[in-house]
Amino acid sequence: MRVMGSAGLEFIELMNGKHIAYLATLNPWDFAAGRILAETLGIKVRAANGNQLNRFKTSHLIAGTPAAYHRIKMLQQF
């Protein structure tokens, strides 16, 4: 696991296929553009509880390839 300290850079790494997932607590302005771009490329971006992100609140976020997102959600059940 690696954290670069920039949501924009993390989303770029994810969209370029260098990472398979990104977990963070972000403000709406940190995830808004990355979410739109990532979802366009088939990357799942959701709140940690599985709901849609609230674009007006700080959220615990999971972004990942469909397979990685599914595995993370499975791990949350334990």
Average pLDDT, stretch 30-59? 95
Q: Is 29 exposed, middle or buried (0-12, 13-18, 19+ CB in 10 A)?
A: exposed
More confident residue, 4 or 7: 7
The pLDDT of residue 5: 78
The pLDDT of residue 24: 95
Tell me the pTM: 0.89
Tell me the average pLDDT of the chain.
93
User: In whole angstroms, what is the distance from residue 71 CA to residue 12 CA?
Assistant: 21
The Cβ of residue 39 has, within 10 Å, a number of other Cβ atoms equal to: 13
φ, ψ of residue 12 in degrees (nearest 5): -60, -45
